[in-house]
Amino acid sequence: MGFSLPFGKKRKMRKLMENYFKNRNREKIAFDAQKRQLDALLNEKRIEQQTYERFRAILETQYYRKKREEWTKVHNKFQNSLNS
C-alpha cells in the first residue's frame, strides 16, 4: 500500500517544492556572481586579502542562513499539510 494524500495536497506540495528549487537556483547564481565579483576585486588589488576574507565569510554566512531558513519554512508547510 502506497503513501497517499488527499486530492490537491499533492499538487500543492509539488508546487511548493518547485518554487523552493527555483528560488534556490536563482540565489545560487546570484551567490556565485557575488563571489566572482569579490575574486575580481582581490585580483585587481582593489581590496586587501583580509577584507576579501571578511566579505567572503559574510556572504557565505548569509547565503547558508537564508538557505536553512527557507528549507525550514518548506519543511514546516509540508509537515502542516500532512497533519491536516
For the chain, the structural domain boundaries read 27-83
Q: What is the pLDDT of residue 11?
A: 80
Chunk the chain into consecutive blocks of 10 residues (it has 84) and report each block's average pLDDT, rounded to whole numbers. Answer: 58 85 94 97 96 96 93 84 67
Please give the pLDDT value at position 7.
57
3-state secondary structure of 16: helix
d(CA 16, CA 48): 42
- Residue-level pLDDT at 60: 96
pLDDT given for residue 13 in this prediction: 80
